[in-house]
Homo-oligomer: A and B are copies of this chain.
Amino acid sequence: MSVEESTSRPAPRTARGARTRARLLQAAEDVFATVGYPEASIVRITELAGVALGTFYVHFTGKKEIFDEVVLDLSRRVRQAMSEASSAAPDRLQAERDGFRAFFAFTAEHPALYRIIRQAEFVSPEVMRTHYDDICSGYASGLDRAMGAGEIRQLDPMVAAWALMGAGELIGMRWVLWEEGGQIPDPVFEQLMRLIEGALAPTPTDGESR
């Protein structure tokens, strides 16, 4: 979250400026998601945004900066979608279901998420790590609370969070991103839930140790 914004441009001072900036961000998200970072040129972004080339540099210091902003924004939005969805759940199991449902739904609606984040490794490692750290931390604190409540077994919440996010990521890639439908098939979702349930379920051992 606290990724360096050192050399960034000042926030727009006029309404027109804000509008232009927003249009550029949206265009950038589209372009990055469609053709990838290396192929994405500033000209392309400005053309899609309907502004002149020079205008880009009024609002951003360069290509990497706008990339970072797009990633940060996307990251913020998934996390919010997931936490909103899971916060109302009565128990941990339901929270898992709701959280992952939200994640897959977001993936379906914003394929840009995967496409952009998976390529961030070389473009902007810091921002990529920030994304994974943030999303897993949020997940981990949910697990931590559930562990305190005895709903799930004793385990390192961080390791569990990263492992389960990983499971979700590949499942989402395979059955949401790569499939035509774009919606995760119910049986796949149920299978995943059974696996997660099994992975988190309190064991006899846990019971004895308490």
Contacts and interface: CB of A to CB of B under 8 A. Distances in A.
Contacts of A155: 191, 194-195
A165 interface: yes
A198 B203 contact: yes
Given A122-B35, A155-B191, A174 B115 contact: no
Nearest to A161: B170
Interface stretch (A3-11, A36-44, A77-85, A90-98): A36-44
Contacts of A48: none
Contacts of A203: 198
Interface in A152-210: 153, 155-156, 159-160, 162-171, 173-174, 178, 187-188, 191-192, 194-196, 198-201, 203
Q: Is the interface of A mostly helix, strand, loop or mixed?
A: helix
A16 interface: no
Interface in A62-115: 114-115
Interface of A: 35-39, 114-115, 118-119, 121-123, 129, 132, 136, 153, 155-156, 159-160, 162-171, 173-174, 178, 187-188, 191-192, 194-196, 198-201, 203
29 contacts: A36-B121, A36-B123, A37-B122, A38-B38, A118-B118, A118-B121, A119-B119, A119-B121, A129-B178, A136-B174, A153-B198, A156-B187, A156-B191, A159-B187, A159-B188, A159-B191, A160-B195, A162-B170, A163-B167, A163-B171, A164-B167, A166-B166, A166-B167, A166-B170, A167-B167, A196-B199, A198-B198, A198-B199, A198-B203
